[in-house]
Structure 1
Amino acid sequence: MSSKKPKKADLRRQPSLSSIKRQDVKIPEGISFSFRYYQDDKDKFSIGDRDARYLESLLRRLRDLSQLISQEIINNQSKSLRCHGILWQDTTEPNGFGIPNEDQLVNTAYQFQISANEYGRVHGFFSENVFYVVWLDPDHNLYS
């Protein structure tokens, strides 16, 4: 019994993986997180002594927030998120983050909580739909 090989013309009619287009599914763009300006050189914003549970909670929070756009986070009144602007004069860092060109990069500094007071806050700023993490504050030291 002979098996018939497909003709070359038949092979060309089958779509290749590179020619198959994704269905146009509109997925809303959530925020992204950048650690470009992350500072871990200050003891009060260090996570060096934190265990794996801290990192797990942080990553879960970032994942969940990445489903939202920046305005949804900024305008959210939920006590579980507690996102609000930072008033530098009321903090232990009255000069701000201290990053190069901060006055041109940062319109408003924000903080949000990782979980209900257990793991502290994340401090940073938005630029369009990217949140730049500058400090991780597990002990709430910015407002001590």
Structure 2
Amino acid sequence: MADNRYANIADRDAKRVSEEKLKLSFVYIDWDSEEFFFHGLESQYYQKFFWCMSELQSATERQIAQQTHPSLRPKSIFNSDTSIKNAFPVSVIERVKQQLFVETRDEAAAADQAKEITARAFEVSLSKNYGRVHGFLWNNTFHIVWVDPAHNLFPMGRKITKHQDAAVVRCFSPEECHRLQEIIRQLQIENEELLEAFANQ
């Protein structure tokens, strides 16, 4: 009977936590991956981004974990061969592990737990054309890791019209690489012509 009572209390507590509004965290954000960025975008992008943050704070963990939130359209990530990555960066997992180690003092257990926690990874949508935000759920908090305005985590198999600036903000984008290669080619031609002109003087 006592076991039943404690199980009921635990179930009630778990249900209460899953229905609480989410907190947001940028503690584990990754600024080092070239594919994910937050600067140089048009103003409407930032409006969409902060709307998304507000929606996340009104959402529950259950809505994200069960992928039922109507406007954020959450989706589990790292379970598809169409994504360019299959986990968050080692540096992020290591920071989660360090946080857990402070609490547990068991390095192996902390490492295992950190992998499990960061594997509870989801993306939420700003809109079809304004990309996604990727993060993980832990302690009723959505920890944002990647801001993905150009849909770079899942680049293939989708017909998406990117907003004007997203594809050319950073050098990783194919369009930007081609543009820079063309500039280099033109400069090389001009350089050769100038050298030839100086040689003939």
Q: TM-score, normalised by structure 2?
A: 0.52
Would you say the 8 A contact 1:31–1:65 is kept in 2? yes
Residue 97, structure 1, aligned to residue 108, structure 2: no
Taking the aligned partners of 2:116 and 2:76, their CA distance within structure 1 comes to 17
**Structure 1: runs of 5+ lacking an equivalent:** 1-27
Would you say the 8 A contact 1:29–1:67 is kept in 2? no
Bigger helix share: 2
User: Structure 1 residues 87, 42: closer, same or farther in 2, change over 3 A?
Assistant: closer
Partner of 1:113: 125
Matches within 5 A, 1:1-144: 29-77=20-68, 80-88=71-79, 90=81, 91-98=83-90, 99=92, 100=94, 101=97, 102-103=114-115, 105-115=117-127, 117-144=128-155
Higher RCO (C-alpha 8 Å, min separation 6): 1
Taking the aligned partners of 2:88 and 2:32, their CA distance within structure 1 comes to 15
Taking the aligned partners of 1:95 and 1:61, their CA distance within structure 2 comes to 23
**Structure 2: runs of 5+ lacking an equivalent:** 1-18, 98-113, 156-201
SS of residue in 2 equivalent to 1:45: coil
Matching residue's letter, 2:89: F
The superposition leaves residues 17-37 of structure 1 with CA deviations (integer Å, 9 ceiling, x where unpaired) of xxxxxxxxxxx7410110000
How many residue pairs get aligned? The number is 116
SS of residue in 2 equivalent to 1:125: strand
Alpha-carbon distance, 1:78 to partner: 5.6
Would you say the 8 A contact 1:124–1:131 is kept in 2? yes
Taking the aligned partners of 1:95 and 1:68, their CA distance within structure 2 comes to 24
